[in-house]
Amino acid sequence: MSTTFLPCGDYHENYKQDHAWWQTKFIKLKMILLFAVLFVGIPLCADSYWLSVCNLVGYTVLGALGVQLLIGFCGQLTLGHAAFIAVGAYTSTLLVLEFPWPKFLLDLGLAYPVSIIVAAIAAGMWSVLFGLPSAKVKGFYLILTTMAAQFITVDFVITQYVSQIGGRGQAFSLPPGTIKVGPWIIDSNLKVYLMMLALVILCVAIITNLLRSRVGRAWIAIRDNDISAEVMGINVVKYKLFAFFVAGFIGGIAGAFWISNLAAISPEHFPWFWSLWLVGVILIGGAGSIHGAIFGSVFMVVVMELLQLAVIPLADTYPKLLMDFLFIKEAAFGLAICIFLIFEPNGLAYRWWQVKNYFNLWPFSY
């Protein structure tokens, strides 16, 4: 049978169809349009300011994917993910600025791409270190363990020791031309945007394929009931630690990417509130869904930018509004979480799923 009109009565005939990424012609058309908008429409239509907003959305998506993996798919609560993003950012920065790369690698522009891979591995291993207590504790106690990762990593190790390398004090300057991928110097919001798209697509593909594998099924079994998963023969400790590694790996990529958007990097870029923000993003977007990390990131970043644009015209009359915008932003963040937990506890991804089903099942959409 044709799979053009799934799920309204046409079914897959083989395993390949069942596991295809884009299962119908209609979905393929939607994805082609999406890629056209992302790679052609936005670069042509958006100015530098909105490209920077898109870059912030991408950074948030990269950070939220790791949190989504731990909380949404493996059931491991975390409130210290900014620490692993910071490890990735500082590892990449130190490799680019301090490491004595062979001249041919510098000439080929491979120092920064290689530093992203090393930063991701370093952040993944650091994440496993703080994931070790998950073998014995869970719930509230695991939250405290991951919070310890934030304070030990950023407030102690990075602030007191890593930031002092080279006698720089607190910040590492990233002069123009430092970030280079092959022959291209990443020196504009458009170039950062295109690199962000490539990294987001890569990370989404990695996590999606893992979730479709035996590993993903083990994570979901642990999330639903870790005792039952262990009874079924799943090595719970191994899969928990692997989840921490993958989450840290993605976080390391997020941090290594973000330095391309900064003129200087300091510990203030990775506060504990950023870890809390990422948890809020997946609560709003929908826990247990890749779409949730994306929708939540777009919603939170765009809403906060629109809120700031609304406050700016009032700054002449009420200058304190602009001065206290950080507190307004935090209040709006808390209010958004409360509203979603009350009125849409399953998040934006669930609403998107309902809308898709309405049209896919039409005219029997009841």
Residue 234: strand, helix, or coil: coil
Question: Which range in 30-34, 183-187, 243-247 is most confidently predicted, on average pLDDT?
Answer: 243-247
**pLDDT tens digits, one per residue of 125-177:** 999 999 998 888 888 888 888 899 999 999 999 988 888 776 656 678 888 88
Chain centre distance of CA 27: 24
Buried b (16+ CB within 10 A) or exposed e, 337-359: beebeeeeeebbbbebeeeeeee
Q: What is the mean pLDDT of residues 266-289?
A: 92
**pLDDT tens digits, one per residue of 51-81:** 999 999 999 999 999 999 999 999 998 999 9
Q: How far apart are CA 176 and CA 64, in angstroms?
A: 28
Beta carbons of 246 and 131 less than 8 angstroms apart: no
pLDDT at site 169: 61
* Percent of the chain at pLDDT exceeding 70: 95
pLDDT at site 1: 47
